Structure formats: structure tokens, C-alpha cells
Structure 1
Amino acid sequence: MEKDSAISALGALAQGTRLDVFRLLVRHEPDGLAAGEIARQLDVPQNTMSAHLGILARAGLVRSDRHSRSVIYRADLAGLRALMLFLVNDCCAGSAELCAPLVAELAPCC
């Protein structure tokens, strides 16, 4: 991941509603949620939600698929992975033992 892409992703997540959307979509992987359902669950107007989803998509954090009349949104886990790796790429100056607690904390979820 390039620095500008990381800045875009972090900027997209630096807003409360978008962070809530992303976390909601991560919880609903791999099925995703329809845009209207995301708006309903987070109590956000649909047109506002559309703008938030567009920002997250342009930042590489969500992807969408059209199914009939619905657009299903999913967290882009590859984008999340790239962002996380960018952030920890130089972790602890290459001393793996110093990063072990971070890796251990992340491992149980998956």
C-alpha cells in the first residue's frame, strides 16, 4: 500500500458514522448487508449513508455487488489487510519478539 492510499483509508475511517459502517460490515462478513439495512441499523438517512459508503469504497475499505434491486456492501478485507500491514510494516525495527503481543492479540479473531 502506498502512503496516499493509507492516508485515504485512515481519513475515511476518521469519521464516526463511517467507522461504525465499516465495523458493522466486518461483523457481517462474508454475507454483507444491503445499503438500506446498513442505514436502518445505524439510524442514518439513506442518502447520507450512500455518501459514506462511497467514501469508504473509494478508500478501498468496502466493495459492493448489485443483486437484483439491492446493492450489497461488504468489508474489503484485502484493503484492511493492506492498511494494517502498512501501519506495522516497520514494527519494532524488525524485532519480532517486540511485536509478538500485537500479533497474539490479533490472532484469536481469525
Structure 2
Amino acid sequence: MAELGHPHRLQIFQLLVKAGEGGLAVGEIQKQVGIPKSTLAHHIAQLVATGLMTQERQGRIQRCRIAPERARALVTFFVNDCCEGLPGIEGLFD
């Protein structure tokens, strides 16, 4: 959870969730987040180290994808531990 506490890492995570299974190329992430490549590489490395995302080289392109099971576990943790009992939440992740 600490890794998602940084605004850029949270933004990267959100972009990848929205991108779905296809993920995004690092260049596309950089364009949308608007930070230098070296800074982006640091944030991506942090997210990969936590298991929230993966990276795969496709020729000259580094493609980033969300790790769906890990992301689902994180969201489920938030809902179950933080939002339990809120109207409309029950059964959302069953």
C-alpha cells in the first residue's frame, strides 16, 4: 500500500487498470504522467517489486501490465477492511 501512496505510482497504477489486459508501453505511460524517463523507471521498478504490475519486452517496446490477481487482492483488502458495512459495497467483489 505504501507504494501506491506516491501520486505518480498511483497514477501509473490507475492508467494500467484502465488499459486492461493489453497494458501500455512505457512511452505512453510517460506521455500521460509527464515525468522524466529516469523518474518513471524508478516508479515502475517499485510497482514491479511489489508485484502490482509486470513488464515485458516486445522488441524495442517495454509493455507494462497490471498484475490482475494482486490488484484484485489489494482492492478487496480495501473494501473488506476499510469500507465494510457501507451501503452498496456488499457482494461487489464476490
> TM-score with structure 2 length normalisation?
0.83
Q: Which runs of 4+ in 1 moved over 4 A?
A: none
2:89 — aligned with what? Answer: 102
For each residue in 1:61-95, what CA deviation from the matched residue of structure 2 results, as whole angstroms up to 9, or x when unmatched? 11111100111001111111122334426x75xxx
For each residue in 1:48-70, what CA deviation from the matched residue of structure 2 results, as whole angstroms up to 9, or x when unmatched? 10100000111111111110011
CA distance in 2, matches of 1:85, 1:41: 27
2:23 — aligned with what? Answer: 32
CA distance in 1, matches of 2:38, 2:23: 19
CA distance in 2, matches of 1:39, 1:55: 15
1:61 — aligned with what? Answer: 52
Aligned CA RMSD, in angstroms, stands at 2.2
Determine which structure has the larger helix proportion and give its number. 1
CA distance in 2, matches of 1:46, 1:33: 15
Which consecutive residues of structure 2, in runs of 5 or more, have no partner in the other structure?
none
Secondary structure of the structure 2 residue equivalent to 1:44: coil
Which consecutive residues of structure 1, in runs of 5 or more, have no partner in the other structure?
1-9, 93-97
Secondary structure of the structure 1 residue equivalent to 2:65: strand
Is 1:46 aligned to residue 33 of structure 2?
no
1:74 — aligned with what? Answer: 65
Query: Radius of gyration: which is bigger?
Result: 1
Secondary structure of the structure 2 residue equivalent to 1:102: coil
Write out aligned runs for 1:11-26 (5 A): 11-26=2-17
